[in-house]
Amino acid sequence: MKIQILGSGCPKCKTLASNAEKAIHELGIAAEIEKVTDIKEIMAFGVMQTPALAMDGVVKSSGRLLSPEQIKKLLS
């Protein structure tokens, strides 16, 4: 599974990446986390608000800072 964090690298984007890492660690699943910071790539996802979280190329959340618990629900 590939988890993509879409954002410019702001504090909320960094926190979302950290929360995603914590969620996959707690679930014990194999996943790759990729940080997408290029605005053109972010717009290609149709995202207008960051931070955003995508799983295997599908946007699951945009404009919200998800907690590890919220991310775990998306992963299961």
Closest among 65, 62, 66, 36 to 47, alpha carbons compared: 62
Report, as residue numbers or ranges, the catalytic residues: 10, 13
Q: What pLDDT, on the 0 to 100 scale, is given for residue 76? A: 82
Structural tokens at position 63:
């404009």
Instruction: Give 2-58 pLDDT, tens digit per residue.
Output: 999 999 889 999 999 999 999 999 999 999 999 999 999 999 999 999 999 999 999
Other Cβ atoms closer than 10 A to 71: 24
**Structure confidence at residue 16 (pLDDT):** 97
Per CATH, the number for 2-75 is 3.40.30.10
Sequence spans of domains, the chain: 2-75
Please say whether the beta carbons of 52 and 3 come within 8 A.
Answer: no
Give the pairing type, strands 2-6 and 32-36: parallel
Distance CA 36, CA 32 (A): 13
